[in-house]
Structure 1
């Protein structure tokens, strides 16, 4: 109930959207606007809940946009679970629970509490008076109204105890903690209930495993000696009952372990994918795709270890702890033999660990290089075929396979030596102990060793179950060493700094489109030269800005900085007066529409690719964006129109069609800022002319930044920024730059020299006539 225990009180909040408990009272409908008998419109109820949650989150400095809410479930009104997940995704602590009126009054003063009403709406508990037994409730859809004072009876008509408690996260959440073996164990310990049930089942099975050996001992020592069939029948019945219970408990334990394993597998997979999405673009640009995918795939080896060998070995240890005392009770001598052999096996494995660690590190490194080459070749198969370099790639692949094979052989030999040395010890547990026990039965005087033929057989039945966990525990260290290497590989990817903090915090201004660079300098990691060197310029909102310059002059770098891809620059980059690094990164990128030279389309329909996974957009929005980008005319000719399936790699579309779909995808959210980074360079003349013809329509009421080598496509731009060697050389319209900027004039003449040559004979003939 510490959700409201923050030091900043509600009345001290500076944001006008937060209700103030000191404004007095208002009519009851201000806070409880809909009676329980009259259900509200689902959209109004959903908005009420989202606004209530956003208000509380804003109290803790986190600005949530209700338009960005997404749920995994198909629900008209957000459920408490989906609301809590939304809040947790913003970095806050949230819990949906049910409390009583007395508990509600005892909540500490501070942040408001979201009350989930029975009619689907929500209200905000913004204050309470314990002496009078009343609470102050505000309507999140009407923050201008003063809170309503209600008592228990009045509130009980519309509220049955459901609340959403929100506060700041007091410790590093599991999602943000570094990936390590300790992190994995924390994940396992989340399944405390399942672990308890498995433990109880394992202890019960261990107890049941004691009975069959003792019943067998009784059958041999008494039934066979005295020929008592009635005792044999009783022992047989007891064995049947024990077997039945053992079967049922074994099934229950396996079922619980399977459920727990499935839950762990789902959580690990969700965590890995979310961390990958949170990594910055520059990480994927610097790291080969094959290397990344291979390292991440090691998570499945870790999963199999956690849900397989580790769980089974730990469960076997419980069996060991219960059965070991009975072994010593039956025969101290034989029990010490079993323990000594098991300890020797463990010491042997430990001696081999340094060598195992070294060879497995070499093996994984070789596998990473092999997997990287495979993914790279598959990804670039079109280039491989077009250049006919299959033989070269085969040679590279053969070298990687040979390297991996040598490493795998070395690892197998080390494991083989360890297995060879431990095999005699394992066989001694099975056979040597039996021989020693038989010797004690035959040679030792009766009664001196306390072991009989029946007890020897019972000891061997129990001894095998005790030795197996000991041997498995010793070999587990070898598996742990392999998993440690896998964890290191995965952590190299997942523990890279993410963009999570930038996507959760920061400002969410409403953009108009003014862009200002003030002495901005930037250097790519590992590079000595500056990509941008003291760039300064400013354009007002609604400007169509062209970026031109030679290759490597910094044009695309400016586009990258505007998208927040690289944020470690010096100087100041402002949008509408707000420093870009202070703006919420997700809000920034959703406010930009970006079209690149080589755009990726996902497998799915044309409509799904244009929508881009944004909820709430209709087919009318898709058609509008397609018409504006010039894609409508070819979409209508497709076999199924907007429902035509796009294959992987967009193989069933031309380059111009892909580019126009990418432009439509960027325009569908009607962004205030649009970046076209060499967007028309891959188009055929007809498609380029179509896109250029629509540029003025596309640019209406938005700021556009067009990066292009083709100066002819920038003639209609309001301003053109000329870049050279990372510096801004000049800024102005086309005609002015032709007159005063030598670099721009040279680029223009290079691209239009053929047109100038075609005009020369015409000019010569005119001169001759004169």
Structure 2
């Protein structure tokens, strides 16, 4: 089952290699071309990391660029004409995409001769390139190229999340922002005309009973209304596109950052609390594309309308600005106290959400142990805490709203009274129509100023939410380890040379001066009491923890120098409690590697002893597994996990208590297959059932983080007290009463 080239075969035309009649699909050739171009920049890519888009026969430029960016490169696909292509003489290797789905590498050009020099991606760099002219190239070339280079500096995906990071993301939508700004300015100008028209109707039409003026004004109203409706629709449409694009990029960045965090970080966090902090980042998105944008758009209105208000009445204009300024001052003064209370409210709500998440995630245990009342009590306490802080926040916010109300009423009503007074006492200062027009526009002036002051309050809350999200998403990630490093062919020889390891926050060593080595193809058993370091060794092998001292070598290469994605794809891992995704049995066994056929799936299921129960199911390999694997037994789930591990044909397999959840019959079936599964590969088996390790080539006995002894089963029974004690304990029914140190028996697994 060698699926190193895990890409669907392409029907139709196919390219040939020079080695006999072997055929290689155009899709493979296209991927090999991209890999060769990336290698020129020092980037080693693995074709097994590529995931084809559904329905794509051969990867498109967009798909290739997406893959390259995921692997730590900078890439761009573009359409280019021959006259520009032939001038790119000093460029690094460029991938040219062909009409049959394949590709070639352009390594140089000769503009004066009108040729480009192409190299076959399937041949080595020592093979001389072939000159191709425009006529020959036009017959096979799509006109598309892919440019590849090493990523320089921090990209959007790598830079720390901050307010500036968010702002840059929004400002990337220059075209949308420009259209929104232009439409907002035009709408601001159009908003002046309705009050002007009202003023004209009062002063000209009603006073002079002019029907012709009314008809003309009606036509203007219709025209302006149509423009305003269309512009408002266009602005909402552009704003919707802007927020959608920002939201999609934000969601992709968040998920990529989250899954690139090391497993150790997730193990130290409460899942519900962690998700609550991450989701708080959407408050920042809402602020930037919502309140902040609308406030600045309203400022356009202020810039346009304010001069017109002074034109109507400078006295009333200054009074309006003064009242709005006092409103803003009150809001700013209350920002600090309100923010402190809001922070407590947000923390209480996040803790309550964590309780809800934990309850749903552990609902089976809750129901089994009848814990409904105790969880209700915890929920009631958290709800009471949320309500207390929410009530405190509401009361705190009620004060500035109450103090602002007299000023707000003055703007909407008091200005009318003052304007009427000026009209009566100073005729000609403010006309009736002008007063009505002023009242229509006055509220539009106060609203942006008050909104600008409230931004301070929102900004503080948003920065709190941003800090919560950044505390998770800015954690050191595995991105560099996942996208860089060596990609050697894995054979499975292991060497532990003075390895020491301490878990974060722990005071004692989990592994102390571990030394042993095994050749490739060895079946190694790991045994010992609880806490002896067995699972820690498997974690180091998987690259979960890389902060060890000493040397851990795989095939002579330090594990920390190997690309983490390549390392984990080369391993098959089966844990004590394995997670299956919602989906069919076939999808779970292939686990995101759609290139495997049903024959591969059936072969893996047969090796894991799962074929028998799968075939009894109504839909066979298309049987849908529900969330939490509730429709299959624990033993069936374990065998599916083993099938998922062996389908990739890994050269090194790790079984960490993999048979502990199996019934005796299933365990006997899997153990019988272990020798066949382990043929040609290194096996590291952690088990507290020593009977399943009897046939191992070597058994490593551990105690308190150190290696006590390593030898075959028969040798350990003779010379290792710990192993002999554990063996006697588990086999007392065949050996009579257990012998040895009773304290050891009491502590045994």
TM-score normalised to structure 1 length:
0.91
Q: Answer whether contact 2:89 2:110 (CA < 8 A) is retained.
A: no
Secondary structure of residue in 2 paired with 1:356: helix
Secondary structure of residue in 2 paired with 1:636: helix
The 1:348–1:72 alpha-carbon spacing in structure 2 relative to 1, beyond 3 Å, is farther
Q: Aligned residue pairs: how many?
A: 721
- What per-residue deviation string (whole Å, max 9, x for no partner) do you get for residues 67-105 of structure 1? 321244521011111111111112221111123344334
Output the CA distance in 2 between the equivalents of 1:568 and 1:384. 37
Output the CA distance in 2 between the equivalents of 1:229 and 1:34. 82
1:622 aligns with 2:601: yes
1:318 aligns with 2:311: no
Map 1:190-589 → 2, pairs under 5 A = 190-444=172-426, 446-447=427-428, 449=429, 451-589=430-568
Output the CA distance in 2 between the equivalents of 1:521 and 1:625. 36
Per the alignment, residue 743 of structure 2 pairs with none
Q: Answer whether contact 1:42 1:77 (CA < 8 A) is retained.
A: no
Output the CA distance in 1 between the equivalents of 2:416 and 2:96. 70
Instruction: State the 1:132 CA deviation.
Output: 4.4
Output the CA distance in 1 between the equivalents of 2:444 and 2:273. 43
Instruction: State the 1:110 CA deviation.
Output: 5.1
Per the alignment, residue 85 of structure 2 pairs with 104
Secondary structure of residue in 1 paired with 2:707: strand
**2:167 equivalent among 175, 185, 192:** 185
Please, which moves more after superposition, 584-593 or 334-343?
334-343
Please, which moves more after superposition, 377-386 or 700-709?
377-386
Secondary structure of residue in 2 paired with 1:463: helix
Instruction: State the 1:215 CA deviation.
Output: 1.1
Per the alignment, residue 640 of structure 2 pairs with 661
Please, which moves more after superposition, 63-72 or 330-339?
63-72
Q: Answer whether contact 1:42 1:76 (CA < 8 A) is retained.
A: no
- What per-residue deviation string (whole Å, max 9, x for no partner) do you get for residues 2-32 of structure 1? xxxxxxxxxxxxxxxxxxxxxxxxxxxxxx9
Instruction: State the 1:759 CA deviation.
Output: 12
The 1:479–1:557 alpha-carbon spacing in structure 2 relative to 1, beyond 3 Å, is same
Instruction: State the 1:385 CA deviation.
Output: 2.5
Per the alignment, residue 120 of structure 1 pairs with 101
- What per-residue deviation string (whole Å, max 9, x for no partner) do you get for residues 382-416 of structure 1? 22233333332222222211111112112112211
**1:675 equivalent among 644, 654, 662:** 654
Instruction: State the 1:566 CA deviation.
Output: 0.3
Secondary structure of residue in 2 paired with 1:315: helix
Please, which moves more after superposition, 709-718 or 196-205?
196-205
Output the CA distance in 1 between the equivalents of 2:485 and 2:34. 18
- What per-residue deviation string (whole Å, max 9, x for no partner) do you get for residues 481-536 of structure 1? 22111111111111111111001000111111101111000000000010000101
Please, which moves more after superposition, 496-505 or 309-318?
309-318
Instruction: State the 1:111 CA deviation.
Output: 2.0
Output the CA distance in 1 between the equivalents of 2:53 and 2:281. 24
Per the alignment, residue 73 of structure 2 pairs with 92
Output the CA distance in 2 between the equivalents of 1:299 and 1:639. 45
1:695 aligns with 2:674: yes
Output the CA distance in 1 between the equivalents of 2:80 and 2:365. 63
Secondary structure of residue in 2 paired with 1:115: strand
Per the alignment, residue 172 of structure 1 pairs with 154
Output the CA distance in 1 between the equivalents of 2:276 and 2:374. 23
Please, which moves more after superposition, 257-266 or 553-562?
257-266
Secondary structure of residue in 2 paired with 1:682: coil
**Long gaps (5+) in structure 2:** 1-12, 17-21, 740-749
Q: Answer whether contact 2:97 2:104 (CA < 8 A) is retained.
A: yes
Instruction: State the 1:160 CA deviation.
Output: 5.4
Secondary structure of residue in 1 paired with 2:334: helix
Q: Answer whether contact 1:278 1:498 (CA < 8 A) is retained.
A: yes
Output the CA distance in 2 between the equivalents of 1:150 and 1:389. 75
Output the CA distance in 2 between the equivalents of 1:395 and 1:116. 64
- What per-residue deviation string (whole Å, max 9, x for no partner) do you get for residues 679-738 of structure 1? 111111111111111111111111100001111110000000000100011111000001
Q: Answer whether contact 1:43 1:77 (CA < 8 A) is retained.
A: no
Secondary structure of residue in 1 paired with 2:373: helix
**Pairwise CA RMSD:** 2.0
Q: Answer whether contact 1:93 1:169 (CA < 8 A) is retained.
A: yes
Instruction: State the 1:600 CA deviation.
Output: 0.8
Please, which moves more after superposition, 546-555 or 421-430?
421-430
Secondary structure of residue in 1 paired with 2:572: strand
Q: Answer whether contact 1:43 1:76 (CA < 8 A) is retained.
A: no
Output the CA distance in 1 between the equivalents of 2:192 and 2:574. 71
Q: Answer whether contact 2:195 2:438 (CA < 8 A) is retained.
A: yes
**Long gaps (5+) in structure 1:** 1-31, 36-40, 761-770
- What per-residue deviation string (whole Å, max 9, x for no partner) do you get for residues 253-307 of structure 1? 1111112222222221121111111111111100011111211222333333333
Per the alignment, residue 7 of structure 2 pairs with none
Per the alignment, residue 51 of structure 1 pairs with 32
Output the CA distance in 2 between the equivalents of 1:57 and 1:549. 46
Q: Answer whether contact 2:89 2:108 (CA < 8 A) is retained.
A: no
Output the CA distance in 2 between the equivalents of 1:160 and 1:79. 11
1:648 aligns with 2:627: yes
